[in-house]
């Protein structure tokens, strides 16, 4: 499966997830994000999941792992665009998405990320 | 094994870890950091691990212990310079490095530490 494109927006790293994040694709995404942060000095990772219709515990766990690794490299992680039904399912599954900021959409996520990283 | 040098930078305590932090060296480092904070009144400990290629659970735990002890003495702990592969490994090992701030490099760590300790 092709790697997801990583885009730079206002110095943040934007990843648009449009497919199931399973197994190797997820591991590889984590690795690429970490390497990108270390190379570019990006202070934030914004993950857009607006096209994701089903988010299971594996994928939720992968997002937590990406956020935890990014934090160790000094970057914040923001999840944007979650669908209402995905949010409800995640809560039913008991997933808290720890260490991950959330915003309704990309615009708000970018605005919040600017605040979070201001002066840092 | 020789003790790691402790350097004062802008009133913060800077430790550059360039070797495995095992057993006596780690215990001794913790002791020296605590004594230094008590003596100097330093408000922050910055630990640079940019040359560390492998960070295992023992060493991660030691960093948490140093951060916890420093916190009790009123000082924050900031870990800087972590390599991407080290970050990924730590997360895989389930290590969160709780109570430890992180920054990509020393410059950013110093800037963040200034913010964290401003007015304190």
Q: Could you write out the three-class secondary structure of B19-63?
A: CCCCHHHHHHHHHHHHHHHHHHCCCEEEEECCCCCCCCHHHHHHH
- Tell the residue number behind the tokens 């669908």, with chain if given: A83
**Backbone region of residue B23 per phi and psi (left: phi > 0; alpha: psi in -120 to 50; beta: other values):** left
Angle at B67 between CA B57 and CA A36, to 5 degrees: 65
**Helices (H), ranges, chain A:** 23-40, 57-72, 84-92, 106-117
Mean pLDDT (10-residue bins), chain B, 120 residues: 84 90 86 96 96 91 94 97 96 91 96 89
Give the tokens for residue B26.
């780690």
Contacts A–B by Cβ distance under 8 A: 54
Q: Strands A44-48 and A12-16: what pairing?
A: parallel
Q: Which residue of A has its CA nearest to B88?
A: A69
pLDDT band at A8 (very low <50, low <70, confident <90, very high): very high
Residues B34-51: tens digit of each pLDDT: 999 999 999 999 999 999
Q: What is the reported pLDDT for B120?
A: 62
Q: Which of B75, B86, B22 is nearest to B49 (CA)?
A: B86
- The residue in chain B having the minimum alpha-carbon distance to the alpha carbon of residue A120 is B112
Instruction: Enter the DSSP assignment of B3.
Output: P
Given CB atoms, is A106 within the 8 Å cutoff of chain B? Answer: no
Nearest by CB: A68 against B80, B82, B91: B91
Determine phi and psi for A104, rounding to 5 degrees.
-60, -40
Q: How many Å lie between the alpha carbon of B67 and the closest alpha carbon of chain A?
A: 15
| CB-nearest partner of B115 from A34, A68, A119 | A119
Q: What is the mean pLDDT of chain A?
A: 92
Considering only CB atoms, A120 lies closest to which of B84, B90, B112, namely B112
State CA A119 to chain mean position distance: 22
What integer pLDDT is reported at residue A17 of this predicted model? Answer: 92
Which residues of B are less than 8 Å from A120 in CB distance?
108, 111-112, 115
Q: How far is CA A44 from CA A41, B31, B88, in A?
A: 9, 35, 17
CB contact under 8 Å between B84 and A37, yes or no, is: yes
Q: Would you say the pTM of this structure is higher than 0.95?
A: no
Structure tokens at A35: 């390497």
A43-52 pLDDT tens trace: 999 999 999 9
């Amino acid at each position: 499966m092709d790697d997801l494109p990583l885009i730079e927006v206002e110095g943040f790293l934007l990843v648009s997830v449009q497919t199931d994040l399973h197994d190797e694709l997820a591991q590889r995404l984590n690795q690429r994000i970490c390497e990108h942060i270390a190379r570019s000095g990006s202070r934030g990772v914004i993950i857009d999941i607006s096209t994701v219709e089903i988010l299971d515990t594996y994928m939720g766990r992968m997002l937590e792992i990406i956020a935890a690794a990014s934090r160790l490299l000094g970057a914040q992680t923001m999840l944007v665009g979650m669908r209402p039904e995905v949010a409800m399912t995640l809560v039913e599954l008991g997933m808290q998405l720890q260490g991950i900021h959330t915003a309704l959409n990309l615009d708000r996520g970018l605005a919040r990320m600017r605040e979070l990283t201001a002066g840092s």
